[in-house]
Amino acid sequence: MIKTDPESAAFCQHLHPLFHDQSSHIRNFRQQSLEMLQSSPFPALKHEEWKYTDLSELAKQLPVSPVLSDFQNLSVNDVYPYSFNQMKSHVMVFVNGHFTPQLSNINKLGRNIVAENLFSAAKRNPEDIKLYLGKADKKGNDYFSYLNGAFFTDGAYIRIPDNYQSEIPIHLLFLTKGNGELRYSAARNLIIMGKNSSVTLVETYGSLDDRPVLTNSVTEVFNGENSLLRHHILQLQNERSHYFGSTNITIPANSRYQNTWVSLGSKISRNDVDAALTGAGSYCQLYGLYAGRHDQLMDNRTVISHRSPHATSNQVYKGILDGFSRGIFNGKILVEQKAQKTEAHQLNRSLILSDKAHADSKPQLKIFADDVKCSHGATVGQLDKNAMFYLQSRGVSKEIARSMLTFAFANDVVDSIILGPVRFYLYKKLFNRFGRDWGSEEDFESLYKQEE
């Protein structure tokens, strides 16, 4: 008999799987997730992994699964703001976790690539679902992973064949549409890379209106041997919504995984990244930027597990906290005993722009091997005094100097994004946030267009 947590059970009382026409693998997976969910306590400050993020207000609300009318009457114009100026890409659009083919554009993908919604894939290719669903997501104790597993309403299934190299990115766009209730938007994504392939994947979380939505996504990534996956994730939801997303990655021999996480939106957001380096010569790069203002809370929890010798990881997470906002970095690097010759570097830097903003940093190294090169560090502080003096000595006021340097602080993470239109979109967002005092937006655009 499973012991049920009452708060946990209450929270999901209005959730249900959206469609019933599902494969047996998905049904089984839901059932397992539901059982785990019911025995898991709702996250609270007393839990080590949630000690900085207070969800007691959220716990009083009851999320409601989406309904069909959420997705109807949407046009390409609604999605345009998230098209990165119509960047050339293969786009799959999900609204409240539901695939909307009329807004998507995946017809021109190569013949061997599969990009479809998870429910179709489960019908067409049940063996893959059985093999991969839930298999990269091994954390085992995360409430929101189970919640997603029990109630996800679809997701993307991307299968990249061996030897596939493409310059054209795949864009997974997850949009929310609210109504009077707290909508629940949950996608479950599987990304499976073949050998010797190279792809750029963009995952964007945005809002179609300013109503609150609870987004709860899980993406599982299986990188292929000798492959490169660039994975850019942008969290741009309105500031009344919640975001609980996790990305789980396995990185086999000689494969490279480069993740850039940029968080600007949501009232409360939690970014969970769990990367496992499982083969020699593998590389994991996690770059992150979380820029909070008003009363936003941005919680980042990352785990990089070195399970194989001769693997490298490099992490740089940066927080910019203004207003009453709060930023959290809780990053763990785990080096198993067999993972000799590991090289692992981790850095968290936070910039505090107001007296009321707050940053927590908890970098952790757990090393069980003896022949490794590891470093970690955290700084919380103000802008560099020498740089301030440099700008002021040219006649620039203190306020403008501060905003220029804040913009600069953010930009080296943004620069790790390989796609020009996405970078430009983020520059503009950040410029509007931190750069209002110097020059007009037109100036800014013409200057950056020169660079493109």
Partner 1 sequence: MLSIRNLKASIEGNHILKGINLEIHPGEVHAIMGPNGSGKSTLAHILAGKEGYIVEDGEVIFEGKNLLELAPEERAREGVFLAFQYPIEIPGVSNTTFLKTALNEIRKHRGLSELDAMDFLTLVRKRMKLVDMDPSLLGRPVNEGFSGGEKKRNEILQMAVLEPRLAILDETDSGLDIDALKTVANGVNSLKNKDNATLVVTHYQRLLDYLVPDYVHVLFDGRIVESGDKTLALELERKGYDWIKTKAGDSK
DSSP string, 353-388: -STT-EEEEEEEEEE--SS-EEEEEEEEE---HHHH
Count how many residues are written for the chain: 452
Question: Which CB sits closer to partner 1, 7 or 441?
Answer: 441
Residue with the two structure tokens 């949407």: 74
Per-residue x/- track, 330-369, partner 1 (CB under 8 A): ----------------------------------------
| Position 441 contacts partner 1 (CB under 8 A) | no
Q: Which of 81, 161, 392, 420 binds partner 1 (CB under 8 A)?
A: 392
Question: Which CB sits closer to partner 1, 86 or 386?
Answer: 386
Number of residues that bind partner 1 (CB under 8 A): 35
| Position 420 contacts partner 1 (CB under 8 A) | no
| Position 444 contacts partner 1 (CB under 8 A) | yes
H-only helix segments in 40-103: 56-59, 76-79
| Position 404 contacts partner 1 (CB under 8 A) | yes
| Position 410 contacts partner 1 (CB under 8 A) | yes
Question: Which CB sits closer to partner 1, 263 or 342?
Answer: 263
In the chain, the N- to C-terminal Cα span, in Å, equals: 61
- CA-CA-CA-CA torsion sign (403, 408, 413, 418): positive
Is the separation of the CB atoms in 170 and 90 below 8 Å? yes
How far is the CA of 83 from the CAs of 90, 202, 285, 442, in angstroms?
A: 11, 11, 26, 20
Nearest Cα to Cα of residue 321 among 289, 288, 352: 352
How far is the CA of 82 from the CAs of 189, 237, 273, 287, in angstroms?
A: 19, 11, 23, 21
Question: Which CB sits closer to partner 1, 132 or 448?
Answer: 448
Least CB distance to partner 1 at residue 133 (A): 40
Residue with the two structure tokens 């996800």: 152
Least CB distance to partner 1 at residue 393 (A): 5
| Position 417 contacts partner 1 (CB under 8 A) | no
Question: Which CB sits closer to partner 1, 80 or 389?
Answer: 389
Distance (Å, rounded) from C-alpha 187 to C-alpha 114? 18
Sites for partner 1 among residues 371-390 (CB under 8 A): 384-387, 389-390
Least CB distance to partner 1 at residue 18 (A): 42
Question: Which CB sits closer to partner 1, 278 or 392?
Answer: 392
Taking the CB of residue 227, how many other CB atoms lie within 10 A of it?
A: 25
| Position 67 contacts partner 1 (CB under 8 A) | no
Q: Which of 14, 396, 420, 433 binds partner 1 (CB under 8 A)?
A: 396
Binding site for partner 1 (CB under 8 A): 384-387, 389-398, 400-401, 404-405, 407-408, 410-412, 414-415, 427, 438-439, 443-444, 446-448, 450-451
